Structure 1
Amino acid sequence: MDNPNSRSSHLRRTPTLGGVSFFYTLIVALFFLRNWADNSEAMFLIPGLTILFIIGLKDDLVVLSPFSKLAAQVISVTFILNNEAFMVNSLHGFFGIYDLPILVSYLIGGFIMVTIINAYNLIDGIDGLAAIVGIVILIIYSTIFYMTQDYFYLLLSLTLNGCLIAFLKYNLSSSSEEKIFMGDTGSLIVGFIISVLTMRFLALPSEKLEDLPFIVENIPLIAIGILIVPLFDTARVFTIRLANRKSPFSADRNHTHHILIDYFNISHKKASLIIGAFNLVFVYLIIVLGSTSFNFWLVAVIVLTVIVLAYFFYRYNYSFSNLKRKIKLKRKFNDVKKRGKNILKNDKPKE
């Protein structure tokens, strides 16, 4: 059960083990899907899923340190990167880069997967958001793998999407008896599967890329566009925490969804739908541009979007200038309070 605290967006104790159902569903599904895989991918997915399931479950029951979870993620990712289906050997001319050395491929793959897992884990802060964003991302990957005839990944995407759609009914329920969170168990598992699908997308062989509706060299930027919501929110929150000289893994209410709720006074459902709709529209724009434009214009659109979003959200008392102002004001307040205590102490009549 999740007990509400000063950071919580809910008011009642709520079960947090919704992610347990994701794990069992995926394990059963992989048993039936394994024959669709060309490189025995199912056998490499199961160990990673199991490790993250155990770590996520323990974190939901007894809070673990961020470094314990990070270590589990690295071990899980290692299983995936040892399968040739997920090796990114080429960037297909992205900014003039083609073949990648194997060591660089491992490092890039590990960084991408760990980043996606943590980014998805961080957006799970209000009702419906993680599920809605996950559904949008999985619909896009389902479409891509249908077009490339990668049916194992198509069915894997649809399986997890079914989990999230079923979970969403209870996550958005107004009844306290029905309501449930996916918890770290769920967010780590969903983030892991999305990172696996992303790696497969980036590692698609050249003969399958011809079926996609965008220029091949734009694939890395398309992947960023698909994951824009979790990646932007993570980058923004980490920047603010580091600017405040805090650990990037420390908890706060600086997330994009918290600002929508706190400053615009809208419900969890509306905030989640707004963010999910933005993700869908942005991906559509990136895919349209990716079918006709080369790297420069896509990079320009992504950078401009990030700058606009950063300005929009930073101006609501989360800008660096406002943060500095708050810190200075707090220090002045503490100084005045200290002086007041000293004056009262000195003015106190002696017996």
Structure 2
Amino acid sequence: MIVTLLVALSGAVVSFLMSIVMWRVGIRYRLYPEIRDRDVHTRPTPRLGGIAMYTGLLTALLIASQIPYFRVVFYEGNQRQIIAILIAATLIVVMGVLDDFFDLDWTTKLIGQVIAAGLLAWLGGLQITQLPIGGVTITSTWSALALTLVGVVVVMNMMNFIDGLDGLVAGVAIIANGAFFLYSYMVLQLSSPSSYFSLATLVSATMVGVCAGFLPLNWHPARMFMGDAGSLLVGLMFAVASISIVSSVDPTTVFGNGVQFQRAQFATAFLPLLLPVAIMIVPVLDFGLAVVRRIAAGKSPFSADRKHLHHRLLDMGHSRLHATLIFYAWTAVISVGSLLFFVADQIVAWSFIGGGLLVCAIATLAPLSHRKRREYEVQAKPLATTTREIAVLDPLDRAATNPKERSA
């Protein structure tokens, strides 16, 4: 684990330094697009963070390729896999940068995403060929290819859809990839006690470092955004890590029939399939609502609007920082709770998730109670003012406004 974390640290350092370089370049040459109606920021900000993150990712992978421990990832028949990942990442970053500057049509972006997913599945062999539900195998090559294409494109767009607040995607990615790193590492310990290195652990740990290196310049108030290049890259690499472990791990063979498996038999059996979705619950929810909303309005599911979850939190009265922290909290509760199914009793995991979700719900809805209280105070203020004004009137004026005094 220490070696993997050192590789992630190298990605964080390079990502941070390149973020500073790209920020200075963007400010000096005014490489920032105009503010759009759906944007929440009020000053022009460079969107070159994706390039810095991409550089950090390449550096970390290059360093890892020179470490003997990672031979199982780079050299034991996996060269095509690594090449496919690098080509797909490059394509996504280039397309994302072009979209940030020229606002590409949604069909063009979708085609680019499908090509990137196809490279992973066809050239790299990263396909969902097995579902971790009793070892169910997808025997049809075309079915596995189609499922992989859909999965990769959906994950990329989920991360892209929530990219609307300072530090939101970077922070959510750190939490999600951190949880997935711990899960994949623990699975690896049980399935391959002699080797603690895999593509899933390397990619998820590296993305934690890359996003952590970028976050200081993206924290509110952000000096630079990651843009579509960064958010799509984060989604792509999370999909790579998820597919690589989902298709290769059968919980019945990893956990056997011992006490650990019996302790959380149902939850653990579905954990490899549900964990990537669970720890990305906020992007999943936002993506699903956006698709339904846009299709119902007769629009493309990839068309832009200002009705995402982060927009709704701002409209409820949350500040941009508070809205970001709420997203972090929801993601952390689901992520940690999912991992607890692996290492603790079900009652502990469900109690943590239930209590955490309750606290998150209260924090999310708090502005509504504040708003109602303010509305009540505003409505009550004119009545109180009128009462005080009548109290200070002289007797003749009070008589004019009070029937009893007027009759007296």
Place the TM-score, normalised by the shorter chain, in its bin: 0.7 to 0.9
- What residue in structure 1 maps to residue 255 of structure 2? 210
Shift of 1:84: 6.8
Cα distance in 2 for residues equivalent to 1:92 and 1:276: 28
- What residue in structure 1 maps to residue 169 of structure 2? 130
Deviations 1:92-131 (A, max 9, x none): 336xx71212322211111111100011111101111111
CA RMSD, Structure 1 to Structure 2 (Å) = 3.0
- Relative to 1, partners in 2 of residues 1:289 and 1:157: Cα closer, same or farther, differing over 3 Å? closer
- What residue in structure 1 maps to residue 180 of structure 2? 141
In structure 2, the gaps of 5 or more residues are 1-31, 189-195, 262-266, 369-408
Cα distance in 1 for residues equivalent to 2:220 and 2:272: 38
Cα distance in 2 for residues equivalent to 1:65 and 1:180: 24
User: In structure 1, the residue corresponding to 2:156 is in which secondary structure?
Assistant: helix
- Relative to 1, partners in 2 of residues 1:6 and 1:217: Cα closer, same or farther, differing over 3 Å? closer
Work out which of the two has the higher radius of gyration on C-alpha atoms and give 1 or 2. Answer: 2
Q: Is the 8 A contact 1:33 1:152 kept in 2?
A: no
Q: Is the 8 A contact 1:30 1:42 kept in 2?
A: no
User: In structure 2, the residue corresponding to 1:86 is in which secondary structure?
Assistant: coil
Q: Is the 8 A contact 1:85 1:203 kept in 2?
A: no
Matched, 1:201 2:245: yes
From 324, 343, 350, the equivalent of 1:272 is 324
Shift of 1:249: 1.8
Q: TM-score, normalised by structure 1?
A: 0.76
Mapping of residues 298-309 of structure 1, within 5 Å: none
Q: Is the 8 A contact 2:133 2:250 kept in 1?
A: no
Shift of 1:262: 1.4
User: In structure 1, the residue corresponding to 2:131 is in which secondary structure?
Assistant: strand
Pick the structure with more helix per residue: 2
Cα distance in 1 for residues equivalent to 2:282 and 2:337: 14
- What residue in structure 1 maps to residue 193 of structure 2? none
Matched, 1:155 2:186: no
Matched, 1:281 2:333: yes
Q: Is the 8 A contact 2:130 2:248 kept in 1?
A: no
Cα distance in 2 for residues equivalent to 1:43 and 1:34: 12
Matched, 1:250 2:250: no
User: In structure 2, the residue corresponding to 1:13 is in which secondary structure?
Assistant: coil
- What residue in structure 2 maps to residue 98 of structure 1? 136
Shift of 1:5: 3.0
Matched, 1:186 2:230: yes
Matched, 1:169 2:216: yes
Cα distance in 1 for residues equivalent to 2:328 and 2:131: 28
Shift of 1:18: 0.8
User: Which letter does structure 2 place at the counterpart of 1:93?
Assistant: I
From 108, 114, 120, the equivalent of 2:147 is 108
Shift of 1:237: 1.2
User: In structure 1, the residue corresponding to 2:333 is in which secondary structure?
Assistant: helix
Percent of residue pairs identical: 27
Cα distance in 1 for residues equivalent to 2:271 and 2:59: 35
Shift of 1:85: 6.2
Q: Is the 8 A contact 2:179 2:339 kept in 1?
A: no
Cα distance in 1 for residues equivalent to 2:236 and 2:124: 18
Q: TM-score, normalised by structure 2?
A: 0.66
- What residue in structure 2 maps to residue 321 of structure 1? none
User: Which letter does structure 1 place at the counterpart of 2:115?
Assistant: I
Q: Is the 8 A contact 1:241 1:248 kept in 2?
A: yes
Structure 1 stretch displaced more, 179-188 or 24-33 = 24-33
Shift of 1:185: 1.1
- What residue in structure 2 maps to residue 81 of structure 1? 121
Cα distance in 2 for residues equivalent to 1:164 and 1:218: 25
Q: Is the 8 A contact 1:17 1:183 kept in 2?
A: yes
Cα distance in 2 for residues equivalent to 1:63 and 1:271: 26
- What residue in structure 2 maps to residue 228 of structure 1? 281
- What residue in structure 2 maps to residue 65 of structure 1? 105
Shift of 1:156: 2.5
Cα distance in 1 for residues equivalent to 2:285 and 2:220: 28
Q: Is the 8 A contact 1:128 1:172 kept in 2?
A: yes
Cα distance in 2 for residues equivalent to 1:78 and 1:34: 24
From 38, 45, 55, the equivalent of 2:95 is 55
Q: Is the 8 A contact 2:175 2:331 kept in 1?
A: yes
- What residue in structure 2 maps to residue 8 of structure 1? 39
**Number of aligned residues:** 297
In structure 1, the gaps of 5 or more residues are 317-351
Cα distance in 1 for residues equivalent to 2:109 and 2:318: 32
- What residue in structure 1 maps to residue 26 of structure 2? none
Deviations 1:273-330 (A, max 9, x none): 111111110233344457767xxxx9xx99xx9xxx9xx99xx9xxxxxxxxxxxxxx
User: In structure 1, the residue corresponding to 2:132 is in which secondary structure?
Assistant: strand
Shift of 1:206: 3.8
Q: Is the 8 A contact 1:128 1:268 kept in 2?
A: no
